[in-house]
């Protein structure tokens, strides 16, 4: 991998494992000490000019990533794009944004007040992609957002970081099916996301996915520290297309359920 890509993903991994300690156990369990190849990482943001999807995407485009797919999640009020790099070892990148204008006036006001706390040019440097929340929020405002949009609440609390890494089962020696991966995870005590079933997708849509339920970690709210859902690990198995190459995209119906891996249990 290009040095600059490797370095960015190294930083993303560091900030992710700080709040996702079980990621180490996932690697130990599935990798058996060998390096794990990641299929993709995902980011979340608000669709406001200062922090919209394209502000994040710019840093990946600068590294040679190209925009490939677009996705709409009507009920969750989200829009997303995915990006790929010609280097097959460079993880794909999935970036979604919340359509803030579709929320209640109260939720909109909270979100605008968070983004207003950010210095204007913070997103100019790729460092913002892994420095967490560039604002302070009260636990009360977090709960107000949570009642309306779990996505908004998660983003308000955790900010900019990889929301999940994703093990590429295609590149995982020792496991041929997603069912075998899920069985190993459950045997080790992991709790899987069961929304719509443990396996999202099937060979017909050329992508099967599963995910752990997010770890919990402490957030310093303006009025005290609370433990809330942080980040999760995803597992993806891609199937070959007619031309023999693996399907490179995402599947809206499956992604819609993967989002729920940060739900409060
Ligand atoms: C992204 C959920 C979608 C996938 O692989 O379909 C996704 C998120 O939870 O932010 O990552
Ligand atoms: Ni994902």
The structure tokens 């929320």 sit at 103
Distance CA 160, CA 62 (A): 18
Virtual CA dihedral for 209, 213, 219, 222, nearest 10 degrees? 90
- The residue to mutate among 91, 169, 258, having the most atoms of ligand 1 within 8 angstroms of its beta carbon, is 258
Question: What pLDDT does residue 118 have?
Answer: 97
Question: What pLDDT does residue 32 have?
Answer: 83
Determine if ligand 1 sits within 6 Å of the CB of residue 92: no
Question: What pLDDT does residue 119 have?
Answer: 94
Question: What pLDDT does residue 72 have?
Answer: 98
Confidence of residue 143 (pLDDT cuts 50, 70, 90): very high
Q: Does domain 3-262 have CATH number 3.10.180.50?
A: yes
Domain ranges of the chain: 3-262
Ligand nearest to the CA of 162: 1
- The residue to mutate among 92, 255, 260, 262, having the most atoms of ligand 1 within 8 angstroms of its beta carbon, is 255
Instruction: Kindly report the length of the chain.
Output: 265
- What average pLDDT does the structure give for the chain? 97
Confidence of residue 265 (pLDDT cuts 50, 70, 90): confident
Question: What pLDDT does residue 144 have?
Answer: 98
Determine if ligand 1 sits within 6 Å of the CB of residue 44: yes
Q: Calculate what percentage of the chain has a pLDDT beyond 90.
A: 97
pLDDT in tens, 36-82: 999 999 999 999 999 999 999 999 999 999 999 999 999 999 999 99
pLDDT in tens, 103-142: 999 999 999 999 999 999 999 999 999 999 999 999 999 9
* Residue whose CA lies nearest to ligand 1 atom number 8: 259
Between helix 178-187 and helix 22-31 the angle, nearest 10°, is: 120
Query: Cβ–Cβ contacts within 10 Å for residue 18, how many?
Result: 15
Strands (E), the chain: 38-46, 66-73, 78-84, 92-98, 164-168, 207-211, 216-221, 224-229, 232-238
Confidence of residue 33 (pLDDT cuts 50, 70, 90): confident
Distance CA 156, CA 152 (A): 6
Determine if ligand 1 sits within 6 Å of the CB of residue 259: yes
Q: What would you measure as the largest C-alpha separation in the chain, in angstroms?
A: 56
pLDDT > 90? residue 101: yes
Question: Which residues on neighbouring strands pair with residue 81, listed in sequence order?
Answer: 70, 95
Question: What pLDDT does residue 159 have?
Answer: 98
* 193 within 8 A of 261, measured Cβ to Cβ: yes
The structure tokens 């710019």 sit at 58
Dihedral over Cα of 256, 131, 144, 112: its sign: negative
Query: Cβ–Cβ contacts within 10 Å for residue 251, how many?
Result: 20
Question: Which residues on neighbouring strands pair with residue 236, listed in sequence order?
Answer: 168, 209
Question: What pLDDT does residue 209 have?
Answer: 98
Using alpha carbons, list the distances in angstroms from residue 43 to 132, 164, 190, 209: 11, 8, 23, 17
pLDDT > 90? residue 172: yes
Higher pLDDT, 32 or 111: 111
């Amino acid at each position: 991998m290009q040095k600059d890509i490797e370095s960015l993903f190294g930083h993303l991994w560091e900030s992710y494992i700080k709040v996702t300690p079980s990621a180490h156990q996932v690697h130990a369990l599935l990798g058996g000490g060998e390096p794990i190849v990641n299929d993709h990482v995902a980011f979340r943001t608000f669709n406001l000019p200062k922090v919209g999807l394209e502000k994040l995407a710019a840093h990946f485009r600068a590294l040679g990533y190209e925009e490939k797919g677009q996705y709409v999640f009507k009920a969750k009020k989200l829009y997303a794009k995915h990006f790929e790099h010609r280097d097959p070892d460079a993880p794909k990148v999935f970036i979604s944004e919340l359509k803030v204008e579709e929320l209640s006036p109260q939720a909109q006001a909270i979100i605008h007040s968070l983004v207003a706390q950010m210095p204007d040019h913070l997103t100019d440097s790729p460092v913002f992609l892994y420095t967490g929340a560039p604002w302070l929020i009260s636990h009360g405002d977090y709960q107000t957002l949570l009642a309306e949009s779990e996505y908004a609440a998660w983003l308000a609390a955790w900010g900019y970081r990889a929301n999940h890494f994703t093990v590429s089962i295609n590149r995982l020696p020792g496991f041929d099916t997603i069912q075998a991966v899920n069985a190993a995870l459950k045997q080790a005590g992991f709790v899987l996301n069961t929304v719509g079933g443990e396996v999202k997708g099937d060979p017909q849509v050329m992508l099967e996915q599963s995910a752990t339920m997010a770890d919990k970690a402490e957030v310093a709210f303006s009025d005290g520290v609370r433990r809330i859902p942080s980040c999760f690990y995803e597992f993806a198995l891609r199937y070959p297309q007619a031309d023999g190459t693996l399907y490179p995209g995402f599947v809206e119906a499956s992604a819609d359920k993967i989002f729920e891996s940060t739900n409060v249990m």
